[in-house]
Amino acid sequence: MNVLKYSEWKDTALTLHLISQMLGKAKLTRMEPQPEWNHTLLQLNADGFTTGLIPNGEKSFSISLMIKEGKVVASGIDGRTSGFSFETGKSISEYYALFNRMLNDVMCETEICTVPMEMNTRTPFEDDKVKREYDTQCALTFFQMSTFAHNALLKFVSAYRGKKILPSFFWGTFDISAVLFSGKEAPFPGNGVIEKTAFDEQMIEFGFWPGDDTIDEPSFFILPYPFVTKDLSNTNIKPDKAFYSKEKSEYFITLRDVMNYEDPEAALLAFFKSGFEILTKEEHWDNVEWLVKPLLITKGSEALKKQK
């Protein structure tokens, strides 16, 4: 699998990020609220990213960002479909007009806030006139990196017995993440509604992030909440290329380093597992022994094969 630096596909990344925000904001407008913004997340499928079914009565619909085919498609349960394609030289303003026309075509007009969330830019979609390149191969490479991350995260968190968010695409921060919760209340001390909703329970987030203008290398991260103030640089995080950032209060390992191990998935799972063990101990999680107690069934077990 190729590893793509952010600087190598910045225009394409920004296009996908901003259009994914259109999908997420449509979902945000119509879905019933869930804790930690869980109702707004996008899911991975074989084609790219999808909202899943968005309730709208007899006009319920879904929107898919189809990386492999280079297009966005809206599908209504009544059989209506519409979409548009990615092209070099298009602006977000043009894409947003196409997005609205697409929703109108499937009779699912949805008014959204057009100011990007959790991004450096605050230019509303309709005012972003910058013409950007779109590189189909770079988009496919990003999707391959995301799929690798998704599958490893799913393998790591599946057996966890507590509350969790399975691997999902967080369109605000443009990452693929899973979250494990301890069950202990931990209200966010600040005032921002995004933060107060996202951070209100003790948890650990495990994720993959493709980078940005300040950090060029795509990386995996482990972020605890409440945020750690202690320097954990000397803790036994695995594998050997992983490290702790005191500045960000997170553990990191780059995708490039992961792929250089003989068994990349095993190295990544070791990163997640060792980070979980360190942080649950440092943060005094309760009942960890039960939360990670092995399930009675395993993948492909004989017990399942014998069931009739």
Cβ(13)–Cβ(86) below 8 Å: no
Dihedral Cα 243, 246, 251, 252, nearest 10 deg: -60
The residues spanned by each domain of the chain are 6-135, 137-291
Residue 124 DSSP code: -
Q: For 243-264, what is the mean pLDDT?
A: 98
Average pLDDT over residues 113-132: 98
Per-residue pLDDT, averaged over 19-36, amounts to 98
Closest alpha carbon to 280 in 212, 175, 206, 169 = 206
What distance in Å separates the CA atoms of residue 167 and residue 142, rounded to the nearest whole number?
16
pLDDT of residue 112: 98
The average pLDDT across 49-67 equals 98
The secondary structure of 151-208 as a DSSP string is HHHHHHHTT--S-EEEEEEETTTTEEEEEEEEEEE---SS--HHHHHH-SEEEEEEEE
pLDDT at position 304 is 67
- Residue 303 has what pLDDT? 66
User: The tokens of 205 are what?
Assistant: 């987030």
State yes or no: pLDDT of 308 exceeds 60.
no
Give the pLDDT band of residue 252 (cuts 50, 70, 90).
Answer: very high
For residues 93-114, give the mean pLDDT. 97
Q: Is the pLDDT of residue 236 over 90?
A: yes
- State the first-to-last Cα distance of the chain, in angstroms, to the nearest integer: 40
CA 246/CA 278 separation, integer angstroms: 15
pLDDT tens digits along 260-303: 999 999 999 999 999 999 999 999 999 999 999 999 988 877 76
Cα distance between residue 120 and residue 194, in whole Å: 16
271: DSSP letter: H
Strand 43-44 to 219-225 pairing: unpaired
CA distance 241 to 208: 16
What is the per-residue pLDDT across 141-182, written as a single tens digit (0 to 9) for each?
A: 999 999 999 999 999 999 999 999 999 999 999 999 999 999
Instruction: Provide the phi-psi class of 89: left if phi over 0, else alpha when psi is between -120 and 50, else beta.
Output: left
Strand partners, 90: 132
* Confidence at residue 307, expressed as pLDDT on a 0 to 100 scale: 64
Which pLDDT score, from 0 to 100, does residue 159 have? 97
List, for residues 179-195, the tens digit of each pLDDT value. Answer: 999 999 999 998 889 99
CA gap 222, 269 in Å, rounded = 12
